[in-house]
Amino acid sequence: MGILEKIAEIEREISRTQKNKATEYHLGLLKAKLAKYRAQLLEPSKSAGAKGEGFDVMKSGDARVALIGFPSVGKSTFLSLMTSTESEAASYEFTTLTCIPGVIEYKGANIQLLDLPGIIEGAAQGKGRGRQVIAVARTADVVIMMLDATKGDVQRELLEKELESVGIRLNRFKPNIYFKAKKGGGLSFNSTVPVTHCSEKLVQLILHEYKIFNAEVLFREDCTPDEFIDVIVGNRVYMPCLYVYNKVDQISIEEVDRLARQPNSVVISCGMKLNLDYLLEQLWEYLALICLYTKKRGERPDFSDPIIMRKGATVEHVCHRIHRTLASQFKYALVWGTSTKYSPQRVGLTHVMEHEDVIQIVKK
């Protein structure tokens, strides 16, 4: 029995089993087995096959965004509209066969946009170069999931399921569980909150499935068995995702209104160039980027060449971005902008910068 058959068998078993108090241990074990088999499936085979054409693209710019979707939903058209790169677009499926990068220039930032080939059902098992597509998506900062508005929510559910099965968690945070495998001493299980989904026995059963018999586990929030398995496996990627419904010019206004009100969703039309500016604004929010401007002593700030940083960046991060030796020679900085109580404020290395702040660094 191959791994695929085993996975299918466990999935059937899970769907057959009723969810209640009596079956939670059984279901927890099945989920642990399922995660284990899926991990084996993702590992490259030992026998090296013929080398194919490279798929990943070198990272460039300030952030990376991956376009994922079924064939013929308008990914290539979107890339051609947003960037100066032309990606071949046609009315038949699988027009794009490899990864095509483009660059969006927005608010002084260069955002790398990757047009990936269309995903089909079963991509996680390797159908239609699905594994390579999903591997590239794992390296992105944000995923844009292109969906056909005329198909309703079917595509969204299928794509979420495919990405879920390869360890990409969309719009979720890492579970707040402390887990450490030890050499001896058995299982130490504690929780700082009342735990309703996982009991000590279930945690022990799941750990035994992974051949872990000595460990320290501390639940800092009420997590499900699935989230606990994610913590054990440890190779999950948590990333923000923007659901973009294309072709809204072909559906009723009531349906457009319904789709636009869903969380993390934007409705656009590439054919009629509708709502693309709002999509860029949302993308900027999801990437959590900020622009900072530098100022030399006695001169006006240089607004032509901003420094692009992540939200929460401190003065120390800015020093490292300008030059690696600057932080060691740093005396103090003067900052103008919304992060200060008054302008200019004299700050140290730990001061957190905000969008469109102006900074002047004074060396020793």
Instruction: Output the pLDDT for position 302.
Output: 84
Average pLDDT, the chain: 80
Helix (H) or strand (E) holding 97: none
The SS3 of residue 33 is helix
Q: Does position 110 have pLDDT exceeding 50, yes or no?
A: yes
List Cβ neighbours of 207 (8 Å cut-off, separation of 6 or more). Answer: 187, 213, 215, 217, 232
Q: What is the pLDDT of residue 287?
A: 87
CA distance 141 to 64: 5
CATH topology of domain 63-88+95-171+237-286: Rossmann fold (3.40.50)
Q: Which amino acid is at 21?
A: K
Confidence band for 2, pLDDT divided at 50, 70 and 90: confident
Cross-strand bridge partners of residue 124: none
Work out the pLDDT band at 358, boundaries 50, 70, 90: very high
pLDDT at 52 over 60: no
- With the CA atoms of 229, 234, 123 and 263 taken in that order, what torsion angle do they form, in degrees rounded to the nearest 10? 80
Superfamily assignment of 290-363 in CATH?
A: Beta-grasp domain (3.10.20.30)
| Helix (H) and strand (E) counts in the chain | 10, 16
- CA separation, residue 320 to residues 78, 243, 339 (Å): 35, 35, 20
Total-model pTM? 0.77
Span of 161-170, 260-269, 310-319 with lowest mean pLDDT:
161-170
Where is average pLDDT lowest: 66-80, 174-188, 224-238? 66-80
Q: Which residue has the higher pLDDT, 94 or 296?
A: 296
Percentage, residues of the chain above pLDDT 90: 3
SS3 160: helix
Residue 234 has pLDDT above 70, yes or no: yes
For residue 51, pLDDT over 50 is answered with no
Output 39-45 pairs: Cβ under 8 A, ≥24 positions apart. Answer: 39/233, 39/235, 40/3, 41/3, 41/4, 41/7, 41/124, 41/125, 42/131, 42/166, 42/167
Residue-by-residue DSSP string for 242-283:
EEEEE-GGGS-HHHHHHHHTSTTEEE-BTTTTBSHHHHHHHH
Mean pLDDT: which of 10-14, 30-34, 127-131, 190-194 is highest?
190-194
The pLDDT value recorded for residue 336 is 92
What is the rounded CA–CA span in Å between residue 27 and residue 10? 10
- pLDDT of 50 > 50? The answer is no
Distance CA 352, CA 336 (A): 12
Residues 60-90 pLDDT 10s = 778 888 888 877 777 778 777 877 766 666 5
Residues 292-302 have a mean pLDDT of 88
pLDDT at residue 48, as a whole number: 46
What is the pLDDT, as a whole number, of residue 89?
Answer: 63
Q: For the chain, which residues make up each domain, given as ranges?
A: 3-44+175-233, 63-88+95-171+237-286, 290-363
